[in-house]
Structure 1
Amino acid sequence: MTGLLDENDVVQFRNIPFATIPARFKRSVLLTHFLDTDRNFTKRGYASPQAIPTVPDLFSGGPYPNESSTFQYSETECLNLQINVPISLLQSTHSKVPLLVYVHGGGFVLGKIDAQHSTHLMVSQSVSDNQPVIGANIQYRLGALGYLHTSTADSNIAMHDQRNALLWIQTFAGGFGGDVGRVTVFGESAGAMSICYHMMAPAPSTGPLFQRAVLMSGVVGPMTAPMPVKEAEKLCDEFMDSLGIKEKSEAGLEWLRILDVQEIVDKSSKLTEQGTMWIPTQDEEWFGKEAGDVTWDRGLELIGKCEWVDAILLGTTGFEGTTLLAAVAGLTPKSFVKGVADQLGEQSANLLKKAYKLSDSMDQNLFLTRAMEWIGDVVFSTPAHALCRHVSTSTNANKKIYRYIFDARNPFPGSPCYQHPHHWVDIYYVFKTFQFRYPHQRLKDLSTRHAQLWIDFTNGKSPWSEYRYDEGGNATFMIADEREGWIQRSAKQDENLCGRDWARCELLWESWKGMQGKWFQPLKIEPMRKSKVV
């Protein structure tokens, strides 16, 4: 195999195919050999078909140097991965080293392997710190191409793509010097939630796919719990209707398969703009017979019971709701409380009024701040807090948990979220790939330490003190702070310094109790029914 040796003495093996796609809406087939594969792995591969941004990524400061603002995609050749290996592992015999595998986010509709999200600088850092790791990035199908469910086609296609990528790593990573018994997966947002779906399912017959997990702003909760089959089939009918396909079942699928892939992407994206989320389905074949109905409240239990993961590192950013402002911009205190009352009942609405300090006469700007807190809590912060509480207190969850808050802000002028610790801002730090763009050394140090902590965890270490919910105000968080760097604080210290209030999340969780055992989406209150949420 020929890889690309970079200036950091890391060999990047790019565009390695890990599975084939026999047909649209069919599960991928794991590749178990290289017999028909070109052995030159120096160029980037195709991305999964997806909506192409019309403007550069303003959130990260604009176009990335030497990276094309456009990219090529292929429906049949998108299942590839990248392996980043210290050259020293390839030059002589070494003990096997652990693997750190990134599952990209993007709301289940966007994402690809690129220079910005590459693990190669993390690998270089691991060598400098004398605890080398091998890094990897994987791709999977997106939107309707990855998540459309019908009664006659394969289900949870994207999840099987991810599983095949991880199975490929189990099969071949040893040849690069990797220890397949020490695999850590990390993901952000939809990538982290994808890791949750793997943990909610039984391990493949060949054994565990990973032993440690890093969940960055992504724990499965009510908005992202697997969709019941009936709901998934309704979405399929809506999707076919939007394309003018009247036939159902296999006949309808045949029409879907002959359409140009861009039509599939465009209609998938249009539904996303109207509030649809492309998420996995409650499929017994994936989640197993014993799981039963995998409703939002059962996710914590299934993740906690996952026997093959021994430690979880998880956290959220300082203010998750910023990027979802458009979804709540049209709300008023009255319309919001009425929408919640209509969905959950008056008692739940009163709990939310208490949690977010709402009143009918409050200032509209202050209300929008509270609404952004609520939407960030619903999708990200409250499920994360609930999982931390469950794992640290349940006798059935035999695993360690480490909790963090990434409170550093977006450092790029011109970004819509400049100087804000918004959802996904940590992605601009952990890979070290944006350090050339930082205005201050302290941000570079924060970024380097971020990578080091994830590397420590991958090497089986405790990156900081365990989180223990029953310690109350003394429970330990690691905080990414621009002035102090990565620093441990107690929950009480953090509340006093930053005003963070986890009791708010607990009241929100309590407001959902009447929906236990049911599938519901808290953001689908009437005034927000068609709001985009990814």
Structure 2
Amino acid sequence: MVGLISPDNIVQFRAIPYATIPARFKQSILLDILQSGEDFTQHGHACPQAFTGDGSTSGGHIPGEIYPPPSDEFKCLILQLNIPLAHLQAAATSTKLPVLVYIHGGGFVLGHIDEQHNTSLMVQQSLADATPIISASLQYRLGALGYLHTPGNANLALNDQRNALRWIQKFIGGFGGDKEKVTVFGESAGAMSICAHMLCAPTVEGPLFRRAVLMSGCLGPMTCPAGWGEAEEMVEVFLEKCGVAERGEEGLSRLREVSVDRIVEVSEELNNTGRMWLTVQDEGWFGRDAGQVTWDRVPELIGKCEWVEEIVLGTTGFEGTMFMPRLASISPASFCSSLTTQLGPSNANTILHAYAITPSMDHNLFTTRAMQWMGDVVFEAPTHALALHLSTHTRIKVYRYIFTPRNPFPSSLFYQQSHHWVDIYFVFLTFVFRFPTPRLRSIARRHAQLWIGFANGKAPWTEYTYSGKGDEVVMVADEREGWVERSVEVHEELVEWGWGRCEALWAGWEGMRGGVFRAGDLECLRGVGMT
């Protein structure tokens, strides 16, 4: 295999195919033979998607990056490896290195291996700190290509990811990696995907990873697996939008003849009107013993995962910023009315009180509170529930963090906001050259070091143990102090908010346990895109 030395002490193997796709909407098939003598120095194809971003949220695309990248639905199942050059040269005699694997986010409709998410600088940092690792990044199918479910071919994207992790188990030893020391980390949809892997029984190869980092993403009432009724409705709507009159296998055959551009266009259209591309309740993935994987059972079921030993999980300072366009268009009165219709007066009042929302309040203040609510519904509350359950009812060690540095790029709509995904600009070290202050560069470097240390089996900071007294320890990334441990009580006093809001949400949702429930599916928000 021919790789690229980038940077000067790291060998990067790009666009390694890990699986084949026999046909659109079919399960991918693991490639169990590694071809020798091939060139892996060029970037590969992304999964077809709506390439509409101008990079402004990060100050523009990284210099030299090609955007939009080439895409191909049948050539997109690729991964990238970054290996210390010296270790690769002595792989036969060296100690096997731990492996850190990244699964990208993007709302299940966006994302690919690019320079922004390049993990090679993390490997370089690991060498500088004498804690060497091998890193990997993987792609999977998106939108309808990965999440249009039919019996026998459900959860295509999850199966893609699993095949990539199986490929790593099979071949990473030849690159000097230790298949018994694999840590996965993902952000948003990537983290939610990791949760889904923890809800699945180990493959015949055994556990695919032992540690996990969940960055702003746990399965919850907006993102837990859809029931087959929801999935069938999505197929029906998709067929109609694509102009396909046939149904069943004949309809799928016709859908395979539709251009991939149209498939992407309809995927995006549905996403922009409030529908999400989610996993589905399929016994082939979750198993018969799990029963229904409902939103309220996710913490319990993840807690039963016997092969994951430790989890790092956390969120950013204000997860709801990106929902502003969706929420600014509704009135506080319509929100209160819709929440009451959804949950009943008593449960709705529990939540409205926690967020200090009233029907006649100032609209600007309402938008802020509604953004807090939506950020909690999608990200904070599921993360809090999982941390609480794992730390009190399981043997899994939990390390919790909060990332509060703000977006430092003036061209961004989210400038000076600690928004969802802002930590992505730090952990990979790829934007350090663009940071305006040494302190921000130091925070980024420490971020990478913490994840690297965790992959090496080190406890990153004090373990989180929920007591309900505020004495739990969390790690906080702070613009003034850097990465610092704080008690929950001290941090909540400093930032003037608390996870009591999340507990109020869970209490308000009590009557919805055990069934399909989309907490953000309010009458006043129907037909409005998530972001």
Same fold (TM over 0.5): yes
Q: CA-to-partner distance for each residue in 1:406-451, whole Å, 9 max, x for gaps?
A: 0000000010000000000000000000000000011100000000
User: Secondary structure of the residue that 2:476 maps to in structure 1?
Assistant: strand
User: Secondary structure of the residue that 1:404 maps to in structure 2?
Assistant: strand
Out of 68, 73, 76, the residue aligned to residue 74 of structure 2 is: 76
Structure-1 residue corresponding to 2:275: 276
Tell me the matched-pair count. 529
* Residue 510 (1) aligns with residue 507 (2): yes
For 1:416-495, what aligned pairs fall within 5 Å after superposition?
416-470=413-467, 472-495=469-492
* Residue 308 (1) aligns with residue 307 (2): yes
State the identity %. Answer: 54
* Residue 142 (1) aligns with residue 139 (2): no
- 1:471 offset after TM fit, Å? 5.8
Structure-2 residue corresponding to 1:87: 85
Which stretch shifts more, 346-355 or 380-389? Answer: 346-355
Structure-1 residue corresponding to 2:40: 41
Structure-2 residue corresponding to 1:229: 228
For 1:251-266, what aligned pairs fall within 5 Å after superposition?
251-266=250-265
Which stretch shifts more, 371-380 or 65-74? Answer: 65-74
CA distance in 2, matches of 1:160, 1:68: 28
CA distance in 1, matches of 2:497, 2:483: 17
- 1:377 aligned partner, one-letter code: D
- 1:303 aligned partner, one-letter code: I
Which stretch shifts more, 327-336 or 125-134? Answer: 327-336
Assess if the C-alpha contact under 8 Å between 1:405 and 1:479 holds in 2. yes
- 1:360 offset after TM fit, Å? 2.3
CA distance in 2, matches of 1:167, 1:226: 23
Structure-2 residue corresponding to 1:61: 59
CA distance in 1, matches of 2:434, 2:314: 25
CA distance in 2, matches of 1:6, 1:284: 43
* Residue 7 (1) aligns with residue 4 (2): no
For 1:83-122, what aligned pairs fall within 5 Å after superposition?
83-92=81-90, 93-122=93-122
- 1:348 offset after TM fit, Å? 1.4
With the length of structure 1 as denominator, give the TM-score of the two structures.
0.98
Q: CA-to-partner distance for each residue in 1:52-73, whole Å, 9 max, x for gaps?
A: 11x5111100121010122100
Aligned Cα RMSD in Å?
1.0
Out of 513, 516, 521, the residue aligned to residue 518 of structure 2 is: 521
- 1:334 offset after TM fit, Å? 1.2
- 1:242 offset after TM fit, Å? 0.8
* Residue 334 (1) aligns with residue 333 (2): yes
Assess if the C-alpha contact under 8 Å between 2:99 and 2:177 holds in 1. yes
Q: CA-to-partner distance for each residue in 1:289-330, whole Å, 9 max, x for gaps?
A: 101111111111111110000000000000000011111112
User: Secondary structure of the residue that 2:256 maps to in structure 1?
Assistant: helix
Structure-2 residue corresponding to 1:364: 363
Assess if the C-alpha contact under 8 Å between 1:317 and 1:421 holds in 2. yes
CA distance in 2, matches of 1:296, 1:200: 13
- 1:150 offset after TM fit, Å? 2.3
- 1:347 offset after TM fit, Å? 1.2
- 2:40 aligned partner, one-letter code: F
Q: Which runs of 4+ in 1 moved over 2 A?
A: none
CA distance in 2, matches of 1:67, 1:15: 15
CA distance in 2, matches of 1:68, 1:484: 37
Structure-1 residue corresponding to 2:351: 352
- 1:125 offset after TM fit, Å? 0.5
With the length of structure 2 as denominator, give the TM-score of the two structures.
0.98
Assess if the C-alpha contact under 8 Å between 1:305 and 1:398 holds in 2. no
User: Secondary structure of the residue that 2:159 maps to in structure 1?
Assistant: helix
CA distance in 1, matches of 2:150, 2:32: 29
CA distance in 1, matches of 2:190, 2:458: 23
- 1:398 offset after TM fit, Å? 1.6
Q: CA-to-partner distance for each residue in 1:106-150, whole Å, 9 max, x for gaps?
A: 000000001110110000011111110000000000000001012
- 2:304 aligned partner, one-letter code: K
User: Secondary structure of the residue that 2:390 maps to in structure 1?
Assistant: helix
Assess if the C-alpha contact under 8 Å between 2:2 and 2:37 holds in 1. no
Q: CA-to-partner distance for each residue in 1:65-112, whole Å, 9 max, x for gaps?
A: 010122100011000000000011112221001000000000000000
Q: CA-to-partner distance for each residue in 1:433-488, whole Å, 9 max, x for gaps?
A: 00000000111000000000001110111000001111621100100001100000
CA distance in 1, matches of 2:386, 2:78: 32
CA distance in 1, matches of 2:489, 2:80: 42
- 1:503 aligned partner, one-letter code: G
User: Secondary structure of the residue that 1:303 maps to in structure 2?
Assistant: helix
- 2:251 aligned partner, one-letter code: G
CA distance in 2, matches of 1:444, 1:328: 34
Assess if the C-alpha contact under 8 Å between 1:523 and 1:529 holds in 2. no
- 1:332 offset after TM fit, Å? 1.7
User: Secondary structure of the residue that 1:469 maps to in structure 2?
Assistant: coil
- 2:59 aligned partner, one-letter code: G
- 1:38 offset after TM fit, Å? 6.1
Which stretch shifts more, 523-532 or 10-19? Answer: 523-532
- 1:68 aligned partner, one-letter code: I
User: Secondary structure of the residue that 2:135 maps to in structure 1?
Assistant: strand
- 1:85 aligned partner, one-letter code: I
Assess if the C-alpha contact under 8 Å between 1:143 and 1:265 holds in 2. yes
Q: CA-to-partner distance for each residue in 1:239-258, whole Å, 9 max, x for gaps?
A: 10111112111010000011
Q: CA-to-partner distance for each residue in 1:10-55, whole Å, 9 max, x for gaps?
A: 10000000000000000000001134x76110000000011111x5
Structure-1 residue corresponding to 2:377: 378
Assess if the C-alpha contact under 8 Å between 2:336 and 2:358 holds in 1. no
Structure 2 residues without counterparts, runs of 5 or longer:
none
CA distance in 1, matches of 2:94, 2:167: 22
User: Secondary structure of the residue that 1:291 maps to in structure 2?
Assistant: coil
CA distance in 1, matches of 2:360, 2:279: 41
Structure-2 residue corresponding to 1:160: 159
Which stretch shifts more, 468-477 or 441-450? Answer: 468-477
CA distance in 1, matches of 2:289, 2:129: 44
